[in-house]
Amino acid sequence: MAPPPLPEPGDLEPESILGSFAHARLPAPSRRGRGEPAAGLAALAGRYDAFILDGYGVVNVGAKPVPGIVDAVEALRGAGRAVMVLTNGAGRPVRWTARRYAGWGVGIPEHLVVSSRDALEAELAARPRPGLWGVMAKPDSELETLPVEAALLGDDDALYREADGFILLNAGEWTAERHRRMVEALRSARRPVLVANPDVSAPHPDGSFSAEPGYWALRLEAETEARCDRFGKPFPDTFDLALARLGAAGLRRERVAMVGDGLYTDILGGLASGLGTVLVTDHGLVRGLDQRAWAERTGISPDYVIPGP
């Protein structure tokens, strides 16, 4: 069966967002969880030795922490459980994320915050370097920290033509016109496209859903011959990076829980990487959806389902 058409950016909502992932090349889950209900993270402290939390949808939504996250992290740490964050938020280096968490009282230090941008930077450092990368990002994204020559993509046609490759970091200021420029550039000459945030969308406190770099990557693949390389959940490179940072060499993977609100990112990635999985239902993409129905439709089912932290 052919996947549904990609929605327009203004038509993103939970059903169309989850349907969009049918267009993506994704890892296969190694198993299906049972979707057992639990009261919250503290109730699972006896089941897992370490917890990897998604950022957006678990720690925060928008500029505010999710209710209960501070107490949940403190309870897990008090029980002797390791806690870290693995986020697909790639717009800024993780020190900004860690600083925000500290301001909210969320006790997760900077060295235990890993982002898909970290995985991208490791890949860029290992690659032969083309002359110039054009980057989808906001002006405050600190492109100078990338280990390549990088320039912010805006409305200058020449930069799209001259770039030797494209990086999709943050879509906060991306427009349909800028997308058109990138499409034309890729049609004129194939070149690499690296996606540092595979998320199709993110939920916002007002109930709206933004088009994230993963969405624009799907559009590029549908409209050109580009095949984007993705870094972040659900792909294994980022999970390996997080586990290494966690110091999980002595832990069995099934004793490490990936906690998130994204079926196709957090839960699929956790299952494909051999981790336990916990779906948070009340603060992110699956809010208001029938989780069991979507598990049947997608074949992606977590080990546990909790309303919030």
Helices and strands (H, E) in the chain, number of each type = 10, 16
Tens-digit pLDDT profile for residues 71-130: 999 999 999 999 999 999 999 999 999 999 999 999 899 999 999 999 999 999 998 776
Residue type at 95 in one-letter notation: R
**In this predicted structure, which of 28-32, 116-120, 234-238, 278-282 has the lowest mean pLDDT?**
28-32
Per-residue pLDDT reduced to its tens digit, 270-292: 999 999 999 998 876 666 666 77
**What is the enclosing helix (H) or strand (E) of 231?**
none
Tell me which residue of 97, 98, 118 sits closest to 196, measured CA to CA: 118
Whose CA is closest to 193, among 181, 202, 206, 182? Answer: 182
Domains of the chain in start order, with CATH, are 31-117+233-306 (3.40.50.1000), 127-230 (3.40.50.1000)
Q: pLDDT > 90: what percent of the chain?
A: 69
Sequence-separated (6 or more) residues with CB below 8 Å from residue 278: 38, 41, 44, 257, 258, 259, 260, 302, 303, 304, 305, 306
| Rounded average pLDDT over 23-30 | 82
pLDDT score for 2: 59
Identify the weakest region by mean pLDDT among 126-135, 154-163, 185-194, 210-219.
126-135
Mean pLDDT of 164-181: 96
- Alpha helices by DSSP H, listed for 131-247, are 157-162, 176-188, 213-223, 236-246
Distance CA 1, CA 214 (A): 22
